[in-house]
């Protein structure tokens, strides 16, 4: 790209960022906008379906809209949330995208295929993260900003099949486990869930959507009363406050007992099982006595039928933590099962493409800085 082309591209991005993103708008909000433009109400349904059902990425694709209306919409709304600046595929089929948003911020999203053909998309909700968990590559970045609802759903659309029927979209599950804390960006997270579930759009079942949190207890309680049917996953990663506070600063504000009480409220109100994510860090939280303590704490907080533990082999980052051995993970799982706790050991995915949250952005930026230094 020439210097002139780069300048024009930057100018285009800056101008586009000044316009609201079309995918941010609900059907009701589009109806208001189209009414302001003197258009009949059904036009809003057409636009919404093009954006969220047929996954259009430019106004020219909306062939059943009048050309004049398309021009008006293009002047008022941006149609593309971001561009792919890196696309990596692992040997196991995992695919990771680095997206540059309209204001230059970069986020990651991952597509994780299953053997049965299902595809889970892991989305980011923030550019960076403010919580600073010691083992997480995203924690190195700090928080740049929250993402909008449209920027969240557009990550899913990167992996979906345009113009297909809902059952043929190609995306079966969505997990809010990428960069950022979803409940720290509460309003946009919930709005994005409702956009994904809208029958005029992708029509995704809320039961196939999982929202993860590091333990923002007040927001967990609030989520319990939203009338949604999403799954809740709590990133626990420790059986007690001492270990959890050492690796997750958020625990000093919302200690384990408060987080588990909020999880209990969510399970009781929604009658949905809560998953507890537990990343296995060698020599930190992976001893058999940690497993016994975890089982005791969880079974005190929730009925066994309403809890499940996912053990996650650690994808090493520059943070300096080591992965637990396969034998340690098996033993940990065995102790949990012996104590009546259901447990799944997650398969490690995408290690050969830096698939842990924040790794691709961090490594890409380091490579860019090295290249600039070499050229300078």
Q: Which helix (H) or strand (E) holds 285?
A: none
- Residue 276 and residue 233 in contact, taking contact as beta carbons nearer than 8 Å: yes
In the numeric block, which tokens belong to residue 338?
């012996």
**How would DSSP label each residue in 297-356?**
HHHHHS-GGGEEEEEEE----TT---BPPHHHHHHHHHHHHHTT--EEEPPP--GGGT-S
Identify the pLDDT of residue 222: 98
In the numeric block, which tokens belong to residue 277?
């994510």
Count CB-CB contacts under 10 A for residue 40.
10
Pairing state between β 143-146 and 106-113: unpaired
In the numeric block, which tokens belong to residue 238?
């420790």
Q: Which helix (H) or strand (E) holds 112?
A: strand 106-113
Pairing state between β 106-113 and 95-101: antiparallel
Count CB-CB contacts under 10 A for residue 288.
12
Pairing state between β 209-213 and 231-235: parallel
Identify the pLDDT of residue 116: 86
Identify the pLDDT of residue 139: 72
Dihedral of alpha carbons 12, 15, 17, 22, sign: negative
- Residue 278 and residue 212 in contact, taking contact as beta carbons nearer than 8 Å: no
Identify the pLDDT of residue 348: 73
Query: Three-state DSSP class for 238?
Result: coil
Pairing state between β 274-280 and 231-235: parallel
Count CB-CB contacts under 10 A for residue 316.
16
What global pTM score does this model have?
0.88
| Per-position pLDDT tens, the chain of length 376 | 455 444 444 444 444 567 899 999 999 999 999 999 999 999 999 999 999 999 999 999 999 999 999 999 999 999 888 899 999 999 999 999 999 999 999 999 999 998 888 999 999 999 999 999 999 887 778 999 999 999 999 999 999 987 666 666 689 999 999 999 999 999 999 999 999 999 999 999 999 999 999 999 999 999 999 999 999 999 999 999 999 999 999 999 999 999 999 999 999 999 999 999 999 999 999 999 999 999 999 999 999 999 999 999 998 877 789 999 999 999 999 999 999 999 999 987 656 655 555 455 444 444 443 322 333 3
Query: Three-state DSSP class for 95?
Result: strand
Annotated active-site residue in 108, 181, 293, 363:
108
Annotated active-site residue in 122, 129, 133, 357:
357
Q: Is 108 a catalytic residue?
A: yes
DSSP type of residue 161 = P
Residue 32, beta-bridge partner list: none
Instruction: Round to whole Å and give the CA distance between 124 and 113.
Output: 18
Q: Which of 238, 323, 336 is nearest to 281 (CA)?
A: 323
Count CB-CB contacts under 10 A for residue 100.
15
Radius of gyration of the CA atoms of the chain, in A:
22
Q: Is 133 a catalytic residue?
A: no
**Full set of structural domains in the chain with CATH:** 3-76 (1.10.150.530), 82-369 (3.20.20.70)
């Amino acid at each position: 790209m020439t210097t002139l082309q780069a300048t024009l591209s930057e100018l285009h991005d800056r101008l586009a960022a000044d316009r609201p993103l079309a995918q941010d708008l609900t059907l009701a909000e589009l109806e208001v906008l189209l009414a302001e433009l003197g258009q009949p109400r059904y036009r809003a349904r057409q636009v919404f379906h093009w954006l969220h059902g047929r996954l259009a990425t430019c106004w020219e694709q909306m062939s059943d809209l009048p050309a004049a209306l398309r021009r008006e919409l293009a002047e008022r709304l941006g149609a593309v949330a971001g561009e792919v600046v890196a696309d990596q595929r692992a040997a196991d089929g995992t695919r990771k995208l680095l997206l540059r948003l309209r204001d230059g911020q970069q986020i990651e999203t991952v597509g994780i295929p299953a053997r049965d053909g299902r595809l889970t998309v892991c989305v980011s909700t923030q550019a960076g993260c403010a919580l600073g968990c010691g083992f997480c590559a995203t924690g190195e970045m700090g928080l740049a900003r929250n993402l909008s609802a449209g920027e969240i759903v557009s990550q899913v659309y990167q992996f979906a099949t345009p113009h297909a029927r809902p059952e043929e979209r190609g995306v079966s599950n969505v997990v809010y486990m990428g960069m950022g804390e979803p409940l720290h960006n509460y309003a946009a997270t919930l709005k994005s869930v409702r956009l994904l579930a809208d029958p005029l759009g992708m029509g995704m079942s809320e039961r196939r959507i999982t929202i993860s949190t590091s333990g923002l207890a007040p927001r967990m309680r609030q989520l319990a009363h939203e009338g949604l049917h999403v799954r809740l996953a709590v990133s626990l990663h420790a059986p007690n406050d001492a270990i959890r506070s050492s690796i997750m600063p958020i625990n000093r504000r919302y200690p384990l007992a408060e987080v588990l009480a909020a999880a209990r409220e969510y399970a009781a109100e929604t009658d949905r099982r809560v998953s507890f994510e537990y990343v296995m860090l060698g020599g930190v939280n992976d001893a058999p006595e940690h497993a016994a303590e975890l089982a005791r704490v969880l079974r005190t907080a929730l009925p066994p039928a309403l809890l499940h533990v996912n053990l996650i082999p650690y994808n090493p980052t520059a943070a300096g933590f080591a992965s637990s051995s396969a034998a340690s993970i098996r033993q940990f799982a065995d102790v949990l099962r012996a104590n009546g706790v259901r447990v799944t050991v997650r398969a490690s995915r995408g290690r050969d493409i830096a698939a842990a949250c924040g790794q691709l952005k961090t490594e890409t930026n380091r490579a860019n800085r090295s290249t600039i230094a070499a050229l300078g």
